């Protein structure tokens, strides 16, 4: 079956002109949706992701309901970690918990490699189902980046300050770089398998890397990111980078061989442009605004769109994930507003 795919999102990601500004929301599939919450009462996150039909349903639901221009595969950034030897459990109200955290060079050496077809077939089956049969918009595949994954692997769970991670990085640089290499290899294999299965755009989440200053980012992180993006470039799909609280690293990201710089809500688009970020940008409505009255949302959305549309290469999104308390009607209304407002402005 061949379907006509809405390619507005891909064009914007490649920096081309579009008739309107494409929209998706980080965590669009998740706890803000009542249908998802009902499923979540019966199944854990890992149980959902292991059932391709169910996982595809969760993935495409918000696209159909909100008329968004891209779907994002429903899964956790922890998904590939068991394959390389980490005992991950997602605990309700806490997040990912790892029973065998990395504490030494020996622990790093023990980490295995991922073989996506064998280790995470359900991820690839979900992608095939969605892209071959169900979706009429591009599917965004994704992976966690080495720093962010390492932070869970070293801390043993979510952290506020990542100080164990940083202590390991500063104290055991040899082990750190081997760890980055291994997580870089994993990211590359995992993402290439997603692309082969049908994902037509990739977002790399380095959610917590903003905890590092730029000097440490350049020394401890940038080399592996350079390698990951260089390798993924061969696949010819747009590559998006995102992390929260990472405005001070946005210029570093722009320098990497990637296509889209994701911005959180703290770096105004016009400021990013003034800093020399000429690539496509994605973002960046303050996610808590979706809990405000509509007039406030509309006003701020207009400001962001006006900044974003100043040059081709702009994707609308929030500056971070959708909060559970956000009403689906609000997201639906927002997507319609972004489409209409931008179509009118871009037609001029």
Please give the C-alpha separations between residue 199 and each of 103, 127, 133, 304, 332, in angstroms, as whole numbers: 35, 7, 13, 28, 24
The least CB distance from residue 226 to a second copy, in Å, is 21
Work out which of 268, 270, 273, 328 binds a second copy, going by CB under 8 A. 268
d(CA 117, CA 113): 12
Question: CB of 54: closest distance to a second copy in angstroms?
Answer: 28
Residues 322, 29: contact at Cβ < 8 Å? no
142 assigned ligand-binding residue: no
Q: Binding to a second copy by residue 92, rule CB under 8 A?
A: no
**What whole-number distance in Å separates Cα of residue 267 and Cα of residue 277?**
12
d(CA 66, CA 70): 11
How much of the chain is helix, strand and coil, in % rounded to 5? Answer: 55, 10, 35
Q: Under the criterion CB under 8 A, does residue 287 sit at the interface with a second copy?
A: yes
27 assigned binding-site residue: yes
Choices 50-58, 187-195, 205-213, 225-233; region in contact with a second copy by CB under 8 A: 205-213
266/345 with CB nearer a second copy: 266
Q: Compute the least distance from the CB of residue 102 to a second copy, in Å.
A: 15
Of 110, 248, 310, 327, the residue at the interface with a second copy (CB under 8 A) is 248
The reply to whether 162 sits near a second copy by the rule CB under 8 A is: yes
Q: Is 31 annotated as a binding residue?
A: yes
Any contact of residue 323 with a second copy (CB under 8 A)?
A: yes
Please report how close the Cβ of residue 288 comes to a second copy at its closest, in angstroms. Answer: 4
Q: Does position 266 bind a second copy by CB under 8 A?
A: yes
Is residue 2 exposed (0-12), middle (13-18) or buried (19+ Cβ within 10 Å)? exposed
Residues in the chain: 348
Please give the size of the binding site for a second copy, defined by CB under 8 A.
31
Asked if 299 touches a second copy (CB under 8 A), the answer is no
Interface with a second copy (CB under 8 A), residue from 320, 334, 337, 338: 320
| Pair of tokens at residue 227 | 């390698």
Binding residue for a second copy, selected from 3, 214, 275, 336, defined by CB under 8 A: 214
φ/ψ (deg, to 5) at 235: -80, -10
Whole-number Cα distances in Å, 128 to 28, 97, 117, 131, 134: 20, 30, 12, 5, 9
**Is there a contact between 138 and 9 (Cβ–Cβ < 8 Å)?**
yes
In DSSP terms, which residues pair with 96 in a beta bridge?
A: 90
Does 320 show up as a binding residue in the annotation? Answer: yes
User: Pattern 163-192, binding to a second copy, x per CB under 8 A?
Assistant: x--xx--xx---------------------
Residues found near a second copy in the complex (CB under 8 A): 161-163, 166-167, 170-171, 210, 212-216, 245, 247-248, 265-268, 286-289, 291-293, 296, 320, 323, 325
- Binding-site sequence positions for substrate: 27-31, 46, 76, 152, 207, 320
């Amino acid at each position: 079956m061949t379907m006509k795919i809405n390619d507005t999102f891909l064009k914007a990601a490649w920096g081309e002109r579009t008739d309107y500004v494409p929209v998706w929301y980080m965590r669009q599939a998740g706890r803000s949706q009542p249908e998802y919450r009902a499923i979540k009462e019966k199944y854990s996150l890992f149980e959902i992701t292991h059932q391709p039909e169910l996982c595809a349903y969760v993935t495409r639901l918000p696209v159909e309901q909100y008329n968004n221009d891209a779907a994002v595969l429903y899964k956790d950034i922890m998904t590939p970690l068991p394959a390389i030897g980490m005992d991950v459990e997602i605990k309700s109200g806490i997040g990912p918990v790892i029973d065998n955290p990395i504490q030494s060079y020996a622990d790093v050496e023990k980490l295995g490699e991922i073989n996506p077809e064998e280790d995470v077939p359900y991820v690839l089956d979900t992608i095939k189902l969605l892209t071959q049969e169900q979706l009429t918009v591009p599917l965004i595949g994704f992976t966690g980046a080495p720093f962010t994954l390492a932070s869970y692997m070293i801390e043993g769970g979510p952290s506020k300050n990542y100080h164990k991670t940083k202590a390991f990085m500063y104290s055991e640089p040899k082990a750190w770089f081997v760890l980055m290499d291994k997580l870089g290899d994993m990211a590359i294999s995992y993402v290439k398998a997603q692309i082969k299965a049908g994902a037509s755009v990739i977002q790399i989440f380095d959610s917590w890397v903003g905890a590092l200053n730029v000097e440490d980012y350049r020394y401890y992180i940038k080399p592996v990111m350079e390698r990951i993006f260089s390798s993924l470039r061969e696949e010819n799909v747009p590559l998006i980078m995102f992390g929260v609280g990472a405005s001070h690293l946005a210029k570093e990201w722009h320098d990497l061989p990637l296509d889209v710089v994701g911005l959180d809500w703290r770096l105004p688009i016009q400021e990013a442009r003034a800093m020399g970020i000429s690539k496509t940008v994605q973002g960046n409505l303050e996610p808590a605004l979706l809990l405000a009255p509509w007039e406030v949302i509309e006003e701020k959305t207009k400001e962001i769109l006006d900044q974003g549309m100043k040059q081709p290469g702009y994707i609308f999104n929030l500056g971070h994930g959708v909060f559970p308390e956000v009403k689906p009607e609000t997201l639906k209304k927002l997507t319609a507003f972004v489409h209409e407002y931008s179509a009118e402005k871009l037609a001029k």
